[in-house]
Structures are given as C-alpha cells and as structure tokens.
Amino acid sequence: MNPSYGKLVNGAIIHAPTSLNTPSGVIMNPKRLSYLQAGWKFLDLQPPADPPPEGKEYRISGYTETPTDIRPIFKLVPVVSPPRTFSKLKLVFALTHRGKWAALRDWLNETGYGDLFDAAQDFREDHPDFIAALSAAQERFGFTRGEIAALLSECVAD
C-alpha cells in the first residue's frame, strides 16, 4: 500500500498499491507520473496550517478531487472528551478519607447496588448503572455537584 496515492470509492480513500501492473510489465515503486497514468491520484491530506481554536478540532467531512489530487475538506468540530473511567480503589480511599465510605457501603448493600459495586473493577461515567447509582447516592447523601466533581476528579483511573 502506498499512502501517498489513492482513489475515492464511495467517499472513502482506497490506497494505491506499491507496484503497478501495466501492459509493459510490473512497475515496482512507481513514480508520480506512473500512478497518475494508472488512474491513481496524489493524496494531499495535510490539515490546515492554522491550529484550531481552543475546544475545537479539525475533522475530515469529505474530499475534493482535481484531475491529479485528492484533498480533504476539513470541518471544525467541538473536541469531545472520551468518558472517564474511575478506579474503585481510589473511590473507596477518597470516600474513606472524607469519612463517607462506611455509610455509603451500607447504603450500597441496602439498595442492591452492592452486588454491582462488588463485581466492578472500575466505573465508566457514561455507564447507565453508574449514572443511576451516582444520582441515587447524591440524592440520599445530599452531595452537591461540586462535591461529586471534586471526588470523582481524584478517582480517575490511571
């Protein structure tokens, strides 16, 4: 595969091979002219020279073609952070340090969340069971959003 040359097929780039079969034989490591004659185009995939504004990133939204080149169309989109994963051990330590672990542990067992807590190795902030348990615990113990944010920031898994 040669990542410098390709074709657009149904909106996706197909990379050129490293050798070309021609009527006069196989061309190993073809030059630009050979690729162009065989119907392959130069892939000019450089992102815009200007860095994106803070909180945004460039994403390819499509491509434009000339007779010899394929160039991406870049679109500015908000940066989306992946969901955080929290360490169970760090969470227990942080809650113990705040004097909250014993009461929360008892509540987990009383409400049925204890089995989920015992089975989990860690917690993803976008998991429906974590969201439900966090919301219920926040309501039961009166944690503020700020307290929850501070607590969870200490518990992000390595």
Element at 97 (helix H, strand E): helix 88-97
In a domain, 29, yes or no: yes
Q: Which two tokens stand for residue 51?
A: 């860095």
User: What's residue 30's pLDDT?
Assistant: 94
Q: Are residues 90 and 70 located together in one domain of the fold?
A: no
Q: Are residues 101 and 135 located together in one domain of the fold?
A: yes
Q: Are residues 74 and 89 located together in one domain of the fold?
A: no
Q: Are residues 49 and 7 located together in one domain of the fold?
A: yes
Token pair 């952070």: residue: 81
Residue percentage of the chain with pLDDT more than 70: 100
Are the CB atoms for 72 and 63 separated by under 8 Å?
A: yes
In a domain, 124, yes or no: yes
Name, in order, each residue with C-beta under 8 angstroms of 42's C-beta and a sequence gap of 6 or more. 4, 5, 32, 35, 36, 68, 69, 70
Domain span holding position 60 = 2-78
The answer, yes or no, to whether residue 23 has pLDDT greater than 90, is no
Q: Are residues 44 and 6 located together in one domain of the fold?
A: yes
Report how far residue 3's alpha carbon sits from residue 35's, in angstroms, rounded to the nearest whole number: 12
Q: Given pLDDT bands bounded at 50, 70 and 90, which one contains residue 151?
A: very high
pLDDT tens for each residue of 62-113? 999 999 999 999 999 999 989 999 999 999 999 999 999 999 999 999 998 8
Q: Are residues 99 and 54 located together in one domain of the fold?
A: no
In a domain, 158, yes or no: no
User: What's residue 33's pLDDT?
Assistant: 93
Cα–Cα nearest to 90, from 111, 112, 120, 133:
120
Number of domains forming the structure of the chain: 2
